[in-house]
């Protein structure tokens, strides 16, 4: 009996911290989602949610965030899944690919500025060829640069996750497949991808959550006022926090939590259905 209950004492400190610092504050913030005012609570129903979606700045932030996710996540997940198959035995390369994730945001931002900024390496190279230098962070390519930043930062970590999952695929599956075909891509498509579909979905959810963190790099370079094309949901919530507009801030956070909760529920449902 004691052995069966031992697991509880291992996770009790973690669950206590989650309840105190995450769940309770989230429940308390519900008064700002469904109420009006910050001092005296007055039930407002869905008024804050309707008002939020009528806000043009929020709709712009939501559109930018969704479009960034749709562009960044599929490319990163696909590239990391394919590369994990080829780098499965190269542990040194996998550890090197993890370095961008471990570097501080400020140091990374300075590195990207020195590369793509007005006085950066790209601008200097253009001047050497007789062309005008350019600040890529304030031009039409700014969004592509942040897609590249996201890819470089998350590619290695996602590759590491897929590599760990691929180790559990029995070697007999590959040997049996080689009897009919010698195509590596066909093996990935018809054997590895179906077997690792729960892992692929998990990485997709995790990559989507990481898209919210691109706000840190955007804030490091632009501050409170990034270009309209890079104004994300996190920028919107951060500005409302500074303005002490807790109703709008908590309502936006509530919608984001609902979205990710829905994705996690789908993942758990698929995981249970496949009996992974």
Are 118 and 133 in contact by the 8 Å Cβ rule? The answer is yes
31/254 Cα distance (integer angstroms): 11
DSSP 153-216: HHHHHHHHHHHHHHTTS-HHHHHHHHHH---HHHHIIIIIHHHTHHHHHHHHHHHHHHHHTHHH
- For 162-202, the pLDDT digits (tens) are 888 887 788 777 777 777 777 777 777 778 888 888 888 88
Q: Is the pLDDT of residue 68 over 90?
A: yes
Compute φ and ψ for 133, nearest 5 degrees.
-65, 160
Q: Tokens 């009790």 belong to which residue?
A: 12
Arithmetic mean of pLDDT over the chain: 81
Say what the pLDDT of residue 275 is. 53
In angstroms, how far is the first alpha carbon of the chain from the final one?
A: 28
Pick 127 or 56 by higher pLDDT: 56
| pTM for this entry | 0.82
Provide DSSP, 217-229. Answer: HHHHHHTT---GG
Give residue 9's pLDDT: 75
Domain positions in the chain are: 56-106+155-274
**Main-chain phi, psi angles of 54, to 5 degrees:** -85, -10
In this structure, is the dihedral angle defined by the CA atoms of residues 146, 152, 153 and 159, taken in order, positive or negative? positive
d(CA 1, CA 262): 36
Residue 247, burial from CB neighbour count under 10 angstroms (0-12, 13-18, 19+): buried
CA dist 105 and 125 (Å) reads: 26
Q: Which two tokens stand for residue 162?
A: 């897929």
For residue range 70-95, what is the model confidence (pLDDT) as tens digits?
Answer: 999 999 999 988 888 877 666 666 67
Task: Please count the CA atoms within 13 angstroms of the CA of 110 that sit on its side-chain side.
Answer: 4
**Superfamily for 56-106+155-274?**
MetI-like (1.10.3720.10)
Give pLDDT tens digits for 190-248. 788 888 888 888 888 888 888 888 888 888 888 878 888 889 988 898 888 888 888 88
């Amino acid at each position: 009996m004691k052995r069966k209950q031992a697991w509880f004492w291992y996770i009790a400190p973690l669950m206590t911290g989650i309840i105190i610092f995450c769940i309770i504050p989230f429940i308390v913030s519900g008064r700002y989602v469904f109420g009006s005012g910050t001092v005296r609570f007055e039930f407002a129903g869905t008024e804050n949610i309707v008002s939020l979606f009528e806000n043009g700045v929020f709709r712009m932030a939501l559109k930018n965030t969704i479009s960034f996710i749709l562009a960044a996540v599929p490319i990163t997940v696909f590239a990391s899944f394919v590369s994990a198959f080829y780098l499965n035995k190269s542990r040194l390369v996998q550890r090197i690919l993890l370095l961008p994730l471990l570097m501080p945001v400020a140091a990374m931002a300075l590195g990207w500025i020195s590369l793509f900024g007005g006085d950066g390496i790209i601008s200097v190279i253009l001047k050497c060829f007789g062309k005008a230098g350019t600040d890529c962070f304030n031009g039409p390519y700014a969004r592509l640069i942040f897609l590249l930043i996201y890819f470089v930062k998350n590619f290695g970590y996602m590759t590491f996750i897929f590599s760990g999952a691929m180790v559990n695929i029995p070697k007999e599956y590959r040997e049996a497949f080689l009897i009919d075909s010698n195509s590596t891509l066909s093996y990935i498509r018809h054997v590895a991808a179906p077997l690792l579909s729960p892992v692929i979905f998990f990485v997709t959810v995790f990559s989507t959550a990481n898209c919210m963190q691109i706000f840190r790099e955007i804030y490091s370079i632009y501050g409170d006022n990034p270009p309209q094309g890079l104004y994300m949901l996190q920028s919107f919530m951060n500005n409302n926090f500074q303005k002490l507009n807790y109703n709008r801030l908590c309502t936006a956070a509530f919608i984001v939590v609902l979205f990710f909760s829905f994705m996690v529920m789908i993942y758990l449902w698929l995981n249970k259905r496949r009996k992974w």
